[in-house]
Structure 1
């Protein structure tokens, strides 16, 4: 069996990643909320005509929150697959994963306040 070319292999990987992203958006309520907030903040960025640096910080914050939310979802799904019954060790893993989402979410809110509060008041 001939080995796939590097380009063909990369294109397949992109396809898998896009599929995962769409699956996340279609099936996870938390990502739907995050996506709505991302659209809202993007609209606010245009409305308040934020600077290039502010756009970079905002987009980085949005990407981090949504990316970590995706990792959290994957960890929860894997945990449920490995141990479908209640297990305090799995609960700890899930809590830590959710805590990571909380950390980046709080930082994203702080970044949003630094950008937008001076423009609002």
Structure 2
């Protein structure tokens, strides 16, 4: 595929960003887990803002989960395209991609607990 100019070209950047947003929209429309993760992330960020805790770790954890869910969706699509019939290696690829999302989600849960639970507990118990 031929490049259509410098990576710093704004027109090229916007075109590439448009393709990327098309992928995000497709995942949101077609993947229930992605929708759940988007809204769970939004809730976690809103809670972090309300509790006035640092947003960066929560935002980074949310971004990691969503990014890996997009990669998982891409892996599943490519595997289905190239191996429409069941194959042990196709299963490995799909399971490993899903496992990456699971590991990231577990990490995000830990970040959420460490970051949000103490101030939330103080707010609930009135000891803050």
Match of 1:34 in 2: 37
Q: Give how far 1:119 is off.
A: 1.1
SS of structure 1 residue aligned to 2:103: helix
Match of 1:9 in 2: 12
2:98 maps to 1:95: no
SS of structure 2 residue aligned to 1:86: coil
Match of 1:21 in 2: 24
TM-score calculated relative to the size of structure 1: 0.89
- Structure 2 residues not aligned, in runs of 5+: 122-128
What whole-Å deviation, never above 9, does each CA across 1:28-85 have from its counterpart, x for those lacking one? Answer: 11100001101211221122111xxx21100000000000000001001110010011
| RMSD of aligned residue pairs (Cα, Å) | 1.3
Structure 1 Cα separation of the partners of residues 120 and 10 of structure 2: 48
State how many pairs are aligned. 116
TM-score calculated relative to the size of structure 2: 0.85
- Structure 1 residues not aligned, in runs of 5+: none
